[in-house]
Amino acid sequence: MGLSFAVKDNIDALGLPTTAACPAFSHRPPAHSAVVKNLLDAGATLLGKTNLDQFACGLNGTRSPYGAVPNAINSLYVSGGSSAGSAYVVATGQVDFSLGTDTAGSGRVPAGLNNIVGLKPSKGLISTRGVLPAAQSVDCVSIFARTVALAAKALEAAMGYDPFDPYSRNLALKTTAFGAKFSFGVPDTLEFFGDNAAQAAFAQSIERLQQLGGTAVTIAYAPLAQAAALLYESALVAERYAAIRPFFDAHEDQVIEPVRSIIAKGRDYSAADLFAAQTQLQAYGQQAAAMWQAIDVLLVPTAPTHYTLAHMQADPVRLNRNLGQYTNFVNLLDYAAISVPSSIRPDGLPFGITLIGPCASDWQLADLGQRYHHATGLPQGALGLPLPPPVPIARLAQATETPPTLRLAVVGAHLSGMPLNRQLTERGAKLLEVTTTAPHYRLFALPDTTPAKPGLKRTDDQGVAIALEVWEMPLAHVGSFLALIPSPLGLGQVELADKSWVTGFICEGHALERAKDVSAHGGWRAYVVTLACSSP
């Protein structure tokens, strides 16, 4: 395998203590966990263990006596949890991939908040033998990586039926991709807790998924939200107490707050209460199942907002609950999920989306997740490196012989006949249409660029329509194309004359300070002609 990895410190690794972020619980396991052994046997190298919310109880990464884990992009903000350290070491490039665990979103929220991929497999696909559970019947070992392809590679090595794990399953994963056309669900009610930047980022993600061939379908979110509430607000919480009952009864004072109160709450329920909660969960699951008749995949924000470390520590229970707005129901209802980066908000913080599918849809989700991630043009984690070219997802047959593509709007040196057009044609791109932007843009001639290049800026007033071309490029070549785009140019979303949106070139604002406004020419080609005419 030739890759390095780290593991969350509730996963056993021979020779290293397992603490679950509780010093009094620390012990040295007699053997590797099943998942660590599988990865080592595949040739991966274990570099160490990572910090977490104590006993995997939290979604924010601050509930540890070993210290809070900061966000990899902005250290004033939380990393997300409970697999906080596992996300951080991947985002900062310390390992190739890492293992977390996921009960209520711990393998997804840290991915969304740190601009990396979080793959939460179907329950039972990866053995949890040798993993200290948070709630054993719904726990999953999750995988963090900077690309979907690497996460999928790690999954292929880590997975496998384990007869010694009571919840392991020999699942037959679906092996047909969703295809060029698919339908995706969008909740009928969305909550961002006043975070307008997150709300705008999610709206952009819907548009991008539509550009990849998806049709949005509104789904009823109520049964999913009601199922999610049972995780902490019913007798289901007793499973957290059961997971560490002997230790907790003897060392309750060694468990930090609010973890102690959450686990202790599990003592308050009877067996009858648990059966009632399980029956209610089944009822919500039946109601939610109807949505799969209309959609292939469900789209949700990975997390609805970001919180600073200071805000989280001042209000740890309520804000932690908010981070799980779109995650808690997934394992309870036996779904698979993958969180992928979606955008960098205007405030510099990452925004991630999660694609959710029925049990055994893992490869399908990975394939669509890779298509989506590469269409964003985002860098890897906190490293600033471009994404490598996408690769076929393991064991997955494509639903169509037509490779996935990305529609790309160009306004300058990549136009037909212009100096950089060959960068498109060499990658098999085809011209789809000649049109203009919506009348909300200004075009600037950037100084000191060779060949000469423009910068496009959206403006709320005094905008005009700018001539452009829309090209279609095979998604497999988008990564190498992005590597050729110099700063201050980058890819973003551009509104066309027909009010649709497409990926296109945008320019960093600081670069326009010395640039010449050439909007009056209506496009770069017309402006270049005037330069030629004025040359001696």
The C-alpha angle 383, 377, 478, rounded to 5 degrees, equals: 115
The amino acid present at 381, given as its one-letter code, is G
User: DSSP of 202-249, one letter per residue?
Assistant: HHHHHHHHHHTTEEEEEE--HHHHHHHHHHHHSGGGHHHHHHTHHHHH
Q: Classify 104 as helix, strand or coil.
A: coil
The amino acid present at 103, given as its one-letter code, is T
d(CA 315, CA 302): 21
DSSP secondary structure code for residue 95 in this structure: S
d(CA 497, CA 28): 64
Phi, psi of 327, rounded to the nearest 5 degrees: -125, -35
What stretches of 296-445 show up as alpha helix (H) in DSSP?
Answer: 309-314, 316-323, 329-332, 362-376, 422-425
- Residue positions annotated with a catalytic role: 8, 82, 106
d(CA 30, CA 34): 12
Phi, psi of 52, rounded to the nearest 5 degrees: -155, 165
Number of CB atoms found within 10 A of residue 236's CB: 23
User: Residue 424's beta-bridge partner residues?
Assistant: none
Give Cβ neighbours of residue 146 (< 8 Å, ≥ 6 apart). 90, 91, 93, 116, 117, 380, 381, 383
Q: Classify 120 as helix, strand or coil.
A: strand
The amino acid present at 516, given as its one-letter code, is K
CB contact at 8 A, 329 and 275: no
Number of CB atoms found within 10 A of residue 486's CB: 8
Tokens of 424: 């498109």
Give Cβ neighbours of residue 63 (< 8 Å, ≥ 6 apart). 21, 53, 54, 57, 81, 82, 256, 258, 259, 316
- Alpha-carbon dihedral angle through residues 333, 50, 38, 136, given to the nearest 10 degrees: -30
Task: Using alpha carbons, select from 123, 143, 151 the residue that is nearest to residue 135.
Answer: 123
